Amino acid sequence: MVLRTAVGFGRGLVYIPLVALHLVTLTLAAVAFLLTFGLGMVFLGPAGVRLVRRQAGLARRLAHAWSGVDIATPYRPSPPPPMPQRDGWYRDGRQLYRTPRIPSFNRTWNWMYRDPATWRDYAWLATEPLVGGLLVLSPLLTAGLGAVLVYTWRPMQAVTGIVLVIAGVLLAPRMVRVHALWTRLLLAPTHRARLTNEMRHLSQVHTEVVDSQAAELRRIERDLHDGAQARLVAIGMTLGAAEELLESDPQAARALIAKVREASAASLVELRQLVRGIHPPVLAERGLGDAVRALALDSPLKVAVSVDLPTRPDAPVESAAYFVISELLVNASRHGDARNVEVDISHRRTALRITVTDDGHGGADPSRGSGLRGIERRVAAFDGVLALHSPAGGPTVATVEFPHALGPDASCGSTLPKWKNTLMGICWGLFWLPLFPQGLVPLFFKIFGVDERSWFLALYMPEAFQWPVILGMIALGICMIAFAVRASSEVRERDVEPNT
Give the pLDDT of residue 54: 92
Q: Which 8-state DSSP code applies to residue 80?
A: P
Taking the whole predicted model, whether its pTM rises above 0.75 is answered as: no
Q: Which residues of the chain have pLDDT under 70?
A: 1, 152-157, 201, 204-217, 219-220, 223, 225-228, 272-279, 367-370, 407-416, 491-500
Burial class (CB in 10 A: 0-12, 13-18, 19+), 84: middle
**Cα 295 → chain centroid:** 33
3-state secondary structure of 388: strand
Residue 395: cis peptide before it, omega within 30 degrees of 0: yes
Give the pLDDT of residue 218: 72
Q: Which residues contact 80 (CB under 8 A, 6 or more apart)?
A: none
Distances (CA, A) of 309 to 10, 353, 379, 382, 447: 46, 10, 19, 18, 65
Residue among 484, 489, 475 at smallest CA distance from 170: 475
- Residue 354 backbone dihedrals phi, psi, to 5 degrees: -120, 125
Q: What is the pLDDT of residues 419-475, one digit of tens each?
A: 888 888 888 788 878 877 888 788 778 777 777 777 778 888 887 788 788 888 888
Radius of gyration of the chain (CA): 34
Q: What torsion, rounded to 10 degrees, do the Cα atoms 150, 155, 161, 164 define?
A: 160
- On the CB side of 379, CA atoms within 13 Å amount to 25
- Amino acid residing at 345: I
Whole-angstrom distance, CA of residue 382 vs CA of residue 395: 27
Give the pLDDT of residue 413: 41
Residue positions counted in the chain: 500
Residue among 480, 444, 481 at smallest CA distance from 459: 444
Residue 384, number of CB atoms within 10 A of its CB? 24
Strands 385-389 and 351-358, sheet pairing: unpaired
